[in-house]
Chains A and B, each alone.
Chain A
Amino acid sequence: SQTIHQWPATLVQPVGSPLSLECTVEGTSNPNLYWYRQAAGRGLQLLFYSVGIGQISSEVPQNLSASRPQDRQFILSSKKLLLSDSGFYLCAWGLAVSGELFFGEGSRLTVL
């Protein structure tokens, strides 16, 4: 069966510090991968998606970036965090036919 994991689960970072969130998927090949962010009072916002190794598309211009160095690994990064980057970050993989998404456990980021 397929599983998805992301880490760390919780982190508190100062403004201007770097960020790296990692997500891995097991049990499926060449998955479509996604990063979403859920800020307080807002819905899930699509940040990045990837249909293959090295293929990244950005939905929202910001100071975040994503990379996919391996088929089942998806990384979200920032060189310098802003206060507005605080939120609940969710990695997901999706079924190509129906579009159903399966989410990781989430990473709660607080930027102070």
Chain B
Amino acid sequence: GQNIDQPTEMTATEGAIVQINCTYQTSGFNGLFWYQQHAGEAPTFLSYNVLDGLEEKGRFSSFLSRSKGYSYLLLKELQMKDSASYLCAVRDRGNQAGTALIFGKGTTLSVSS
């Protein structure tokens, strides 16, 4: 089975940098995703890592270490609109659901001025 852990809540101020960590356990790792979800809305794709290292996309970066079962999402130059829930999800070859993503419970980020 899969186990995905991430902090429940985080707070930060505008302009700051925040790092959201995610640890996971899978039987056949096949990719890690980060999604952003604003309250009452559907999740939207942020990033995808399948190899170790850092993937940068504008203000957002995502890091993966497969040997440690660890990833983080780094958000720079925080803006009020970044207040949302951030979901870590993994794709597991050992999962009977094949391409389905298994999600963590999400980290609610609150950005204050």
Contacts and interface: CB of A to CB of B under 8 A. Distances in A.
Interface of A: 32, 34, 36, 41-46, 49, 51, 57, 59, 90, 94-96, 98-106, 108
Interface of B: 4, 30-31, 33, 40-45, 48, 50, 87, 89, 91, 96-106
A100 B42 contact: no
A44 B105 CA distance: 7
A100 B103 CA distance: 12
Interface of chain A, helix or strand or loop or mixed? Answer: strand
A30 to B, nearest CB: 12
A105 B42 CA distance: 6
30 contacts: A32-B98, A32-B99, A32-B100, A36-B103, A41-B105, A42-B105, A43-B87, A43-B104, A43-B105, A44-B43, A44-B89, A45-B103, A46-B102, A49-B97, A49-B98, A49-B99, A51-B98, A90-B42, A90-B43, A94-B101, A95-B99, A98-B31, A99-B99, A99-B101, A100-B33, A100-B45, A102-B45, A103-B43, A104-B42, A105-B42
Contacts of B91: 99
Given A46-B101, A59-B100, A101-B43, 9 more contacts: A43-B87, A44-B103, A46-B100, A49-B100, A57-B97, A96-B99, A99-B30, A102-B45, A103-B43
Contacts, number: 65
Given A99-B91, A103-B42, A104-B42, A59 B106 contact: no
A94 B100 contact: yes
Given A32-B98, A99-B99, A43 B42 contact: no
